[in-house]
């Protein structure tokens, strides 16, 4: 069972448990789950309600209810490239051709299936909470929370732009200028459930890039996202006439690589429990390295 503990400070003396837990960023949804799904709130090892009045020096312990995985989520013994792991988060270097979560087209062999097996080996009763999802054919770093509350905290960081990712990509042609920003709204294309396009009624999307090298009618770029729209990098570079190499959905050619040449190479976030900024790197995979 996932637990969190705090010591009540002098400034928090006289505060209701409800107010105290709100200060610790425990959501109303989490409190409802704790109350009705088998969790508990204790002060000095004694069960209390959210109306209990705290005193300085009290120890508050919140035990969250066990998490149940979805009926269609199956643990599968798939190797994982674990870059970092602690009690709260896990960072994975996802290979290309692996979906992040199961879908109708790809119900098995996903990162989620592999994570569930990994959790079972640790006797961890939880489900998969992906913070930074990647397309099936995009490789690189994925941040996953090990508990619903941790996911809530990291999702709040994402909304504030504090979870940062850098990508590297190879696109067709010679991109100019060498440093630039693509600011163009993105929305769903027609009736497609997959394809996106730049359109006036779309959501704001901003991509910053810097050219690393250019040769053989290709450009190697470093990319940072200001927003996180579906297929944002792929759509934006196709929009400016430089689709990613291998991205046949958006105009790229697959002569030299069998997927879009896109890799999440750097991930930075503020760890909500260790209270420090953490940065991780993943080198380019072999197929993109060969392309370069």
237/217 Cα distance (integer angstroms): 15
SS3 category, 202: coil
In sequence order, the β-bridge partners of residue 226 are: none
Count CA atoms within 13 Å of residue 226 on its CB side.
14
263/169 Cα distance (integer angstroms): 6
| Cα radius of gyration rounded to whole Å, the chain | 22
Tell me which of 45, 58, 86, 135 is the catalytic residue.
Answer: 135
Residue 57 falls in which region: left (phi positive, over 0), alpha (psi -120 to 50) or beta: left
173/220 Cα distance (integer angstroms): 10
* 52 CA to centre of own chain: 36
| Catalytic status, residue 135 | yes
The secondary structure of 256-275, three-state, reads: CCCCCCEEEEEEEEEECCCC
SS3 category, 205: coil
- Give the active site residues: 135
């Amino acid at each position: 069972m996932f637990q969190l503990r705090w010591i009540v400070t002098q400034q928090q003396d006289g505060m209701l448990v409800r107010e105290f837990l709100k200060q610790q960023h425990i959501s109303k949804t989490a409190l409802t789950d704790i109350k009705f799904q088998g969790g508990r709130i204790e002060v000095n090892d004694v069960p209390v309600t959210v109306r209990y009045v705290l005193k300085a020096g009290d120890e508050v312990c919140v035990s969250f209810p066990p998490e149940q995985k979805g009926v269609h989520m199956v643990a599968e013994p798939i190797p994982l490239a674990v870059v970092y792991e602690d009690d709260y988060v896990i960072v994975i270097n996802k290979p290309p051709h692996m979906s992040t979560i199961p879908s109708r087209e790809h119900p098995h062999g996903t990162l989620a299936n592999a994570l569930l097996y990994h959790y079972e080996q640790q006797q961890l009763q939880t489900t998969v909470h992906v913070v930074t999802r990647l397309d099936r054919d995009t490789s690189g770093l994925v941040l996953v929370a090990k508990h619903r509350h941790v996911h809530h905290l990291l999702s709040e960081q994402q909304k504030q732009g504090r979870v940062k990712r850098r990508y590297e990509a190879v696109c067709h042609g010679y991109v100019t200028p060498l440093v630039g920003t693509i600011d163009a709204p993105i929305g769903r294309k027609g009736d497609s459930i997959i394809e996106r396009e730049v359109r006036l009624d779309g959501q704001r999307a901003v991509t910053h890039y810097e050219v690393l090298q250019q040769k053989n009618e290709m450009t190697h770029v470093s990319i940072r996202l200001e927003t996180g729209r579906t297929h944002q990098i792929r759509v934006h570079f196709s929009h400016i006439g430089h689709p990613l190499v291998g991205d046949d959905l958006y105009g790229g050619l697959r002569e030299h690589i069998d997927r879009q040449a896109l890799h999440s190479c750097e991930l930075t976030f503020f760890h909500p429990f260790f209270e420090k900024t953490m940065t991780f790197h993943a080198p380019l995979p072999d197929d993109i390295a060969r392309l370069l």
